[in-house]
Chains A and B, each alone.
Chain A
Amino acid sequence: MATPWYRRISEGLAKSRGRLEGQLNVLVGRGPDLDVAFWEDLEDVLVGADIGVAAVTDIVERLRDTASRKALPDAESVIEHLAEEIASEFPTDVSDPLAVSPVVILVVGVNGTGKTTTIGKLAKEAVDAGRSVLLGSADTFRAAAIEQLDIIAERASVPVISRERGADPAAVTFDTVVAANERRPDLTLIDTAGRLHTSADLMKELQKVQRVAKRETLAPVMTLLVMDATTGQNGLAQARKFDAALKLDGIVLTKLDGTAKGGIAVAIVRELGLPVVRVGIGEGIDDLKPFVAEEFARALIGRG
């Protein structure tokens, strides 16, 4: 919190950059020959960023094609192209669901990814932009989840609707949306309990929450999946299942202040076309940034 976000991200990046750049520099340092070993090592770097073998194979294949078509002279120019290729995977024409007004945002995801923290950040971002916010505490399951959101709401100076622990999350959602209909905040954020996408019952519970929200409000309801950047290939299964159950509107990628690169987002956008709408870069309430594909792609290959 004390450190501003740009310091944090650059500190985090500096460390990971050293590592990844080291790897890439080895590639570049080998000179102009784009031999088999070069491409294999390049694949390793990308796999090491959690992009996943399937997507990596595809990306590298395309890149090899480009390299020979455009007669790219050396490793350096190939790597420059790589960043562009990765960035181009992300849709450019997406509107920010968080900029709609009024809007109800349902925040979902597996356990511990940073949903509740992200809600605080999104609330703060909106408040800073002069918008009004209401929170709903629909995680009635986890110990002290309600207390956690209360503290976060206080920090962001926004009101929060809650019930006691163990209450029906759909009921809290109902309360929240009804309150929003009265108070007319620009942004209504609903926190939900973390759940594994493999739990059919809990996914059904979430569908009910979404149904109630949609039924009771006139505002559009958007659903955001919060994903931890350290997540490996399971992230794709998560996105698939949550999207199938809820039809997601976007992803928030958290914990990018560590050394994980969040490459799974590339696999997800390729398959599901889901935009990344924000990235989390710390535990503090201001540690949130818009997603910029070029920046993300460059960081991914250690060129941030």
Chain B
Amino acid sequence: MMSTITLDRPTEQVTSKEASIAAQTVLELRNIEKSYDMKTLIIKDIDLQLKQGEFVSIIGPSGAGKSTLLRCINRMIEPSSGDIIFDGTNITQLSKSALRKQRTKIGMVFQHYNLVSRLTVFENVLHGRFGYKSTLQGILGLYTEEEKMLALSILEKLGMKDHVYKRCDQLSGGQKQRVGIARALVQQPKLLLCDEPIASLDPNSSKVIMDHLKEISQSMGITVLVNLHQVDVALKYSDRIIGLNRGSKLFDDLPKRLSQMDIRNIYGAEVDELIFE
């Protein structure tokens, strides 16, 4: 039974043309703009490309529009204009049901975990499969044995196997976040969106979570896009860093190219000490 489960991306993509495919674009944003009130732009003309397996962090001060940008990608927030090309499909024009289909391929991880606290770890993780189910199958909670095995293997990978039958309100923050990640992974996504996944965690749990996210991007080839408050964490883990300030992209490059000057630009002059605390 285990053999039917592949955590990694389908093998068809890892062929002779490895080099070109490794550089395959998973997500492309073109001129994305967002305004809540038709007056002020919260997101200003953002262009962005993410490649398969890339680990990208978005940094920026509070209110810069990081969460808004992230939610525009899976249209949890409707962008005001621009195009989102995900996995070869322009998802800005999709109907409701087609959008639902595409969303199954985009996992999301939240600062406050967003679990159904009265249900078990196992149930919460399996919730990630709803996108693949018909309404009735989903309502009745009819999961296949393969799906359950997939959930278990992911939980094992994240070191949560011992807590499968625990109710989620009995878990620590770090454990809850791992359940949140497992729920996203069980979707077998191509892209993982993480909105400040470590903002409510202590340094140790933060490291565990970031290590897992890094591991996911490297070994499963899933693209990971993370909103972060901590510049040092972004520097340590990212393949690429995007700096956002008042809705504009000020920086988009390798971590080593992020200078003091850039940080000052992104965060405003007063936060020099941010990186060296």
Q: Do A and B come from one complex?
A: no
